[in-house]
Chains A and B, each alone.
Chain A
Amino acid sequence: MKDEPIGKGVKKFTSVDGETFDAGEPLVLEQSTLLGDVVRRYSHNRAAMAALFILLFMIIYSTVGPWLRPWSFDEGLYSNPSLIPYQLPNLAHWFGTDQNGRDLFVRLAMGGRVSLLIAFAATGIVLVIGVLYGSLAGFIGGKTDEVMMRFVDVLYGLPYLPFAIILLVILGAGIVPMLLALAVVSWLTPSRLVRGQMLTLKQNEYVEAARALGATRGRIIFRHLLPNTLGIIVVAMFLEVPGMILGEATLSFLGLGISSPDASWGTLASEGWKALRSHPWMIILPGIFIAVTVLCFNFVGDGFRDAIDPRTKETK
């Protein structure tokens, strides 16, 4: 990872409301220039660029992978007796076959679709809830803020995984229950983050100005305040996705994932774990896919954060 020298343009940190997340004073720049700067700075970050390309490759693989091979993801030895279970990676089956003779190249691609879809969708849900909740609390302030944040505090006390497990048992296996289980506690951090930003932003003169001109609350939030928090929201998104991928995989590994013949990287790893002794590649392959994707999201997230606000560099 290439670093710019520290100290250049670094300002003193002001703690936002005692929260652990410091984002500094928000940049208030003209949008187009900001975007241009971000792209320029990002493209200079070699590690982040490499990660972005690998991610794109993963997405392409997940999208077109199932069509590259003649077998479907759920085609096993019953419908096609020529499929032999537990083949090592070979010329026909690039990643080998599983216990039912299903092609793992195709299944890993399908698993990628499910895992990435769940991760993106859950992140989306989390951000929408978190941003709305956080900006409302931050903007309204006062007693409302106090009550809303106390509620967040209560939920922070919930142990995440145990509740996700109970929820999944209630809702049953499937993509939607998995989304809910992942999203239900994860919106807390973004909401705190956005609230902190709001508290700082709303003291700016232009907010006063807009208010004086008779703008409604909604208009102020959506037109003036949210666009200025976009940066940290984007960064939060990229940093949230890997957590979602790992969360989905972890729950699937414990046997709470989507049901066979559908697959996600987590359920594939779980199937691989059952065959660890004789067919270790069955767990190693999904493991590599999960780890590489998580790694790349982290790099991309860091890259974006640095590009959006170079001052926060190296302080995470």
Chain B
Amino acid sequence: MTKLIVRRVLWTIPVVIVVIFLTFLLMKAIPGGPFTSERGVPEEILRNMNAKYGLDRPWYEQFFRYIWHAAQGDLGVSMTQKSRTVVDVIGDAFPVSIHLGVLAFGLAMLIGIPAGVVAALKHNTFWDYGAMFYSTVGWALPHFIVGPVLMYVFALKLGWLPTSRWTGPQSWILPTITLGTALSAYFARLTRGSMLETLQQDYVRTAMAKGLPFRTVVLKHVLRNSLIPVVTQAGPLLGFVITGSFITEYVFAIPGLGKYFVSSVGNRDYSVVMGLAVLLSSIIIFANLVVDILYGVLDPRIRYE
């Protein structure tokens, strides 16, 4: 087991390097550079700027330099934010994105899991249909519709909440709901399905037959085992959350990674784009790794190749 984990962790290194390489190539393929401007910048000034950021060197040298520096934790300096390094940018933006993500996940679990449990226990009743209606509709609602509509109703029409930014608990509410709605729908659906399956298992039937109280059976046996798939789905969901946070941050002017990424691509801020791509990839790779390991830990039936 340990050997396996070590192997999987080591495997992430070449993956990250490939990701860096792909991002690097793609960035270089975009027409226009960080210093392309509608003002006709004199030749000598362009030359000075390219020299300052090492862009006058051959591409492979730039690439290997980047890898070498990145390995030492230096992701370079931003080409548009003149006073900041990429590490600074990540240090400012990442915690905000994490905060938003955790709130949304929390909200989603708080609503989704109980909804799924109730739906499964009250199978084929009004409660079940209600929960399933919520989960199907919630999953289909795009973030860019939920966000603006919430903003329109609760900030503009009712004036209860701030429209935008990330300045305090009140300002967290609308973005959290925007990002959390679809997630909670997904959790509800997943929990319900998995509960229904668990309820049919022999050990549950045995427990019931033994005359254990229904509550005990549900809490001790059913719920715990039903949540395994919910945990293991958290990894693949991460990609979905990242996509959602891009839109949420865009709509609500939240200073997180997504907002940065879009503007950095526009500015051709090569170093920031690379840094953010590497960071996001690492998160996804790490999450997949954790899920794989968890999967094995939680369900011993699964054998590794």
Contact = CB atoms under 8 A, between A and B. Distances in A.
Interface in A141-161: 153-154, 156-161
B142 A249 contact: yes
For B136, B152, B189, the residue with the greatest tally of chain A CB atoms inside 10 Å of its CB is B136
Contacts of A166: 23, 26-27, 30, 265, 273
Contacts of B232: 20
Contacts, number: 148
Interface in B116-153: 123-124, 129, 132, 136-137, 139-145, 148-149, 151-152
B305 A250 contact: no
Interface string A283-316: 1100100111011001100000000000000111
A60 B176 CA distance: 37
Interface in A65-116: none
Interface in B21-36: 22-23, 26-27, 29-31
A18 interface: yes
B98 interface: no
Interface residues of A, number: 49
Contact of A15 (B140, B277, B301): B301
Main secondary structure of the interface of B (DSSP, over half): helix
B284 A165 contact: no
B93 interface: no
Given A246-B142, A249-B142, A315 B243 contact: no
Given A18-B304, A250-B144, A314-B193, A156 B288 contact: yes
B295 A18 contact: yes
Interface in A1-42: 1, 3, 6-7, 10, 15, 17-18, 20
Contacts of B148: 273, 276, 283
A295 B136 contact: yes
A162 interface: yes
B242 interface: yes
Contacts of A250: 142-144, 243, 246-247
B63 interface: no
B200 interface: yes
Interface residues of B, number: 71
B196 interface: yes
Given A17-B305, A18-B304, A273 B262 contact: no
B88 interface: no
Given A156-B288, A166-B30, A250-B144, A1 B132 contact: yes
A197 B56 CA distance: 50
Main secondary structure of the interface of A (DSSP, over half): helix
B19 A157 contact: yes
Nearest to B291: A20
A316 B145 contact: no
Contacts of B262: 165, 254
Q: Lowest 10 A-B CB distances belong to which pairs?
A: A287-B145, A159-B280, A295-B140, A294-B140, A157-B285, A253-B144, A161-B243, A291-B140, A166-B26, A7-B200
13 contacts: A1-B129, A18-B302, A158-B22, A158-B284, A253-B247, A276-B148, A276-B151, A287-B145, A291-B137, A298-B139, A314-B192, A314-B196, A316-B189
Interface of B: 11-12, 14-16, 18-19, 22-23, 26-27, 29-31, 123-124, 129, 132, 136-137, 139-145, 148-149, 151-152, 156, 189-190, 192-194, 196-197, 199-200, 232-233, 236, 239, 242-243, 246-247, 250-251, 261-262, 265-266, 273, 276-277, 280-281, 283-285, 288, 292, 295, 301-305
Interface of A: 1, 3, 6-7, 10, 15, 17-18, 20, 153-154, 156-163, 165-167, 169-170, 242, 246, 249-250, 253-254, 269-270, 273, 276-277, 280, 283-284, 287, 290-292, 294-295, 298-299, 314-316
